[in-house]
């Protein structure tokens, strides 16, 4: 059996905004990965994973998928009996796509039709996103399908609108003073409750207005500047985005991060933003001078994901 690897993902821009038709930019992150494997299920991890797959197979059996995207559930169930498990080091509840990688791995192995990610058309991307959204809803209640799509394609994806996604080329990372990095908040976050808080907020007209007129504007401007490698407008809009989130996404920002978030805004040494739904897990940091930011964020575990 070949064991293709499915990498984690980072939603660089677009958290919550993609629900409201903003753009989004997401990248594969190869530091974390997962793959389907067989074993004698000796360890607790393997047993637990195998049990989870069995429960998940029942959910998938009931899904009404279109003809050309059918899954071979009976083969999946047979493999589960033989000791199938998902061998993954992707942390759960950290906003880096642990369930997305699992969904991508299952679709890749059990899809009746064979899709070659390199040859997938823009229309097929849209359809795959819908299928993956249905498959991943088991884990989050409601899923955009973006995480599994990234993990499956293993390419940067630009979410152009609610109905349109496409591959995109991202400026190459190179050694420089600046960096995009992850900060570990030290706690896990659950997507479901955070999304619920967001939908509650969206019921108020004031929040809907600022979401559309400010958040989406800053978010889309950040994506545009990042893809063009224009650092001045990028950091100007990043600051606006970070201030906006500090004021409006307070419940999604882990308490352990509050002071560090504010310190970045006060000093302009770095700016923080949510990585995915927040509530815990990783927070994203952007800085023009990583050495300085690193010193100021002493005590936090950090991982650099991109240099410039």
Show Cβ contacts of residue 9 under 8 Å, excluding neighbours closer than 6 positions. Answer: 26, 27, 28, 29, 96, 97, 100, 101, 147, 150, 151
Buried/exposed code over 50-59 (b: 16+ C-beta within 10 A; e: otherwise): beebeebbee
Q: Smallest Cα–Cα separation from 148: which of 104, 116, 105?
A: 104
The reported pLDDT for the residue numbered 116 is: 85
Map out the domains of the chain as residue ranges.
6-167, 179-307
> Tokens at residue 88, please?
């993954």
- 3-state helix/strand/coil string of 276-293: CCCCCCEEEEEECCHHHH
Distance CA 235, CA 52 (A): 42
CB 26 within 8 A of CB 232: no
Show Cβ contacts of residue 175 under 8 Å, excluding neighbours closer than 6 positions. Answer: 307
Show Cβ contacts of residue 258 under 8 Å, excluding neighbours closer than 6 positions. Answer: none
Q: Which residue ranges of the chain lie beneath pLDDT 50? A: 1
Question: What is the CATH number that goes with domain 6-167?
Answer: 3.30.230.10
Round to the nearest angstrom and report the end-to-end CA distance of the chain.
39
Q: Smallest Cα–Cα separation from 218: which of 246, 202, 240?
A: 240
Q: 3-class SS at 240?
A: helix
Q: Smallest Cα–Cα separation from 69: which of 118, 108, 98, 102?
A: 108
How much is the pTM?
0.89
* Architecture (CATH level 2) of domain 179-307: 2-Layer Sandwich (3.30)
Distance CA 145, CA 131 (A): 7
The reported pLDDT for the residue numbered 276 is: 86
The reported pLDDT for the residue numbered 2 is: 65
The reported pLDDT for the residue numbered 195 is: 86
Rg (alpha carbons) of the chain, rounded to whole number: 19
The reported pLDDT for the residue numbered 209 is: 97
The reported pLDDT for the residue numbered 180 is: 98
Distance CA 32, CA 147 (A): 14
């Amino acid at each position: 059996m070949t064991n293709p690897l499915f990498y984690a993902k980072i939603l660089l821009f677009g958290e919550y905004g993609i629900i409201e038709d903003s753009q989004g930019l997401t990248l594969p992150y190869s530091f974390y990965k997962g793959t389907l494997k067989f074993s004698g299920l000796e360890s607790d991890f393997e047993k637990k994973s195998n049990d989870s797959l069995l429960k998940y197979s029942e959910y998938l059996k009931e899904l009404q998928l279109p003809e050309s995207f059918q899954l071979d559930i009976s083969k999946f169930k047979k493999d589960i009996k033989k000791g199938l498990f998902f061998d993954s080091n992707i942390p759960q509840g950290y906003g880096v796509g642990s369930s997305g990688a699992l969904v991508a791995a299952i679709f890749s192995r059990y899809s009746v039709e064979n899709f070659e990610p390199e040859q997938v058309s823009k229309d097929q991307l849209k359809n795959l996103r819908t299928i993956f959204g249905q498959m991943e809803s088991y884990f989050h209640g409601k899923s955009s399908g973006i995480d599994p799509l990234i993990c499956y394609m293993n390419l940067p994806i630009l979410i152009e609108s609610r109905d349109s996604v496409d591959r995109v080329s991202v400026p190459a990372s190179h050694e420089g003073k600046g960096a995009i990095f992850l900060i570990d908040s030290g706690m896990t976050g659950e997507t479901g409750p955070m999304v619920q808080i967001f939908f509650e907020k969206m019921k108020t007209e004031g929040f809907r207005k600022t979401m559309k007129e400010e958040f989406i504007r800053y978010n889309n401007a950040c994506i545009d500047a990042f893809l063009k490698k224009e650092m001045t407008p990028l950091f100007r809009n990043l600051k606006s985005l970070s201030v906006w989130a500090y004021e409006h996404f307070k419940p999604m920002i882990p308490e352990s991060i509050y002071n560090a978030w504010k310190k970045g805004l006060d000093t302009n040494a770095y700016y923080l933003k949510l990585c995915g739904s927040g509530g815990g897990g990783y927070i994203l940091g952007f800085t023009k001078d990583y050495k300085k930011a690193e010193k100021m964020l002493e005590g936090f575990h950090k991982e650099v994901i991109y240099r410039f």
